[in-house]
Amino acid sequence: MAKNTRRPKWLQVLIDSFTFKSTGLSFIQKLKISLPAPILSVSQVIIHQVYIKYYTDVIGLNANLVGLVYVIYNIWNALNDPLIGALIDRQPYRPGRGKYVYLLHVTVPFMMLTTIAMAFTQPSWSQWAKFGVFTAELFFFDTAATAYGVAYGSYVQIAAPTKEERLDIGTIGNYLTYGMSFLATMIPTLLLFQGGNKSLFIPVLSVVVAVQTVVFILALRGLKDTPEMYATLKPAKRNNKETLRAAWVIIKSRPFLTSITYSIIAMGAISYYSAAFLYYMDAVIHAPGTTATLLNFITHFVALALMPLMNYAVKRWGTKTNIYIGMIPATIGYIGLTFAHTIPEVYLYYGLIVCCTIYFATATAPMNALIIDEDEWRTGIRKTGLYSGLFSIFTTSLGSIQMILYTSIMSATGYRGQVAVQSAQAVRGIRFATGVLPLISIWVGLLAMILYPFTRQKERDISAESRRMRTAPHDPVAVSENKG
């Protein structure tokens, strides 16, 4: 009598989750496409987390002026992001050079050079000299980073046309991203906390940026940019007036408005959790840098181990349901961190926040691409660059409001970066900014998610149509599937 070899359902779920099983691209193809993502992510970790503490605590730039730097940074984003996105849309594929991958190669050196240059501002300079140099360097970094982000996002969307493939690519890429980001966050915890050897900051940062550059130049070499990938795309051929008209139609649409609102209010708040952690552990908990580093490593290790299951849940139940589920542990984490006093308490509550941050990021990752797919379905024209620019103009320019609020609260409550012990009022300010402020934001942002129009079934319908539109006879994904 034959034995029943059918696997239990829970075991099959684990296998599917950790093998990133979905139709279309193979695991190796997904891996190759995911590798360039960390270039931008790690540089942004250094700039938006490491440098914030470095400039307040080592360079001595007032927290109010750090906030002002980001106000100007956001205004520049409001100007350059849609322009760069629309410009990339208009550029045709050029034989021998390509399009999106070529832009990735061109922009990486600018990002790397400006990332390391920010470390050489001198504490002896005047406040306004520090402010001016930091602002100028951010200007050059952001221009290159915007072009890189739009090009890479556009490339992923045509190379991986379905939500499921993009989720797998994002999850695989996140492992490398968080791994290298962790190396970057070790810099402030080990070197910038009280008692740390701040003189090692520049040498260590230089090594991190050098390793990052080498690894990802190699990653870009493996990325294919063939004419077949662009065969089914109808490039936008609009003048400036038509571009503005198309942009206004997009901005007024419900999918765009709800997605952007949630990104700004909710995701904008939780995206700065690592920067908040640095000040919280140093000034509130008074933890040694080694303790903060270990805590950060363990909580992220647990979250990353769970990421394939998060990925599976988003494929199965869609974005909205997973956001609803994550609200409960996130709320417990933020309330707990507001009142925590011991290291074990921080392990528990910060661990919940880290897991929920990654969970929310996984759940919302497909939203923007699905909106672009659905628009192409209706209009017949793919406006990736225009959409990406509009997404950036709002998320980057307004998403940093949370960081500006954080530094404003620190300044208003008396935080002084170069003193050994903060006042009781400053400690209360950091507790409020780390726990209560993001908690309010995720609950207010939930209103936008409730109004987000794409249900689980709608997401599946859009992915199916996107796959159909990308299956030209010479499309590499279609050919791969047909051969299989």
The answer to whether residue 418 scores a pLDDT higher than 90 is no
Select from 60, 53, 130, 73 the least CA-distant residue to 430: 53
Please report which confidence band the pLDDT of residue 475 belongs to, taking 50, 70 and 90 as the band edges.
very low
Residues in the chain: 484
How confident is the model over 255-274, as pLDDT tens digits? 999 999 999 899 988 877 77
Considering only residues 87 and 391, tell me which one the structure prediction assigns the higher pLDDT.
391
Which pLDDT value is given to residue 473? 45
The answer to whether residue 227 scores a pLDDT higher than 80 is no
Which stretch of 119-123, 317-321, 399-403, 420-424 has the lowest confidence by average pLDDT? 399-403
The answer to whether residue 97 scores a pLDDT higher than 60 is yes
Please report which confidence band the pLDDT of residue 476 belongs to, taking 50, 70 and 90 as the band edges.
very low
414 to 204, 275, 417, 433: CA distances (angstroms)? 30, 18, 10, 13
Considering only residues 150 and 121, tell me which one the structure prediction assigns the higher pLDDT.
121
**Mean pLDDT score of the chain:** 81
Please check whether residue 386 is in contact with residue 246, taking contact to mean a CB–CB distance below 8 angstroms.
yes
Which pLDDT value is given to residue 14? 64
Q: CA 231, CA 425: separation in Å to the nearest integer?
A: 61
Q: CA 394, CA 12: separation in Å to the nearest integer?
A: 40
Which pLDDT value is given to residue 132? 92
Which pLDDT value is given to residue 482? 36
How confident is the model over 137-159, as a mean pLDDT? 84
Name the percent of the chain lying above pLDDT 90: 23
Considering only residues 466 and 243, tell me which one the structure prediction assigns the higher pLDDT.
466
Name the CA dihedral angle for 406, 389, 327, 349, rounded to a multiple of 10 degrees.
Answer: -40
The answer to whether residue 479 scores a pLDDT higher than 50 is no
The answer to whether residue 340 scores a pLDDT higher than 60 is yes
Which pLDDT value is given to residue 222? 72
Report the predicted TM-score, pTM, of the whole model to 2 decimal places.
0.70
Cβ of 421: how many Cβ atoms within 10 Å?
11
Which stretch of 23-32, 176-185, 460-469 has the lowest confidence by average pLDDT? 176-185
How confident is the model over 424-462, as pLDDT tens digits? 999 999 999 999 999 999 999 999 999 999 998 999 898
Q: Which domains does the chain have, with CATH numbers?
A: 35-478 (1.20.1250.20)
How confident is the model over 196-211, as pLDDT tens digits? 667 788 888 888 888 8
Considering only residues 214 and 23, tell me which one the structure prediction assigns the higher pLDDT.
214
Cβ of 385: how many Cβ atoms within 10 Å?
27
How confident is the model over 275-329, as pLDDT tens digits? 788 889 988 999 888 888 889 889 988 988 898 889 889 988 999 999 999 999 9
Q: CA 330, CA 356: separation in Å to the nearest integer?
A: 6
Which pLDDT value is given to residue 239? 60
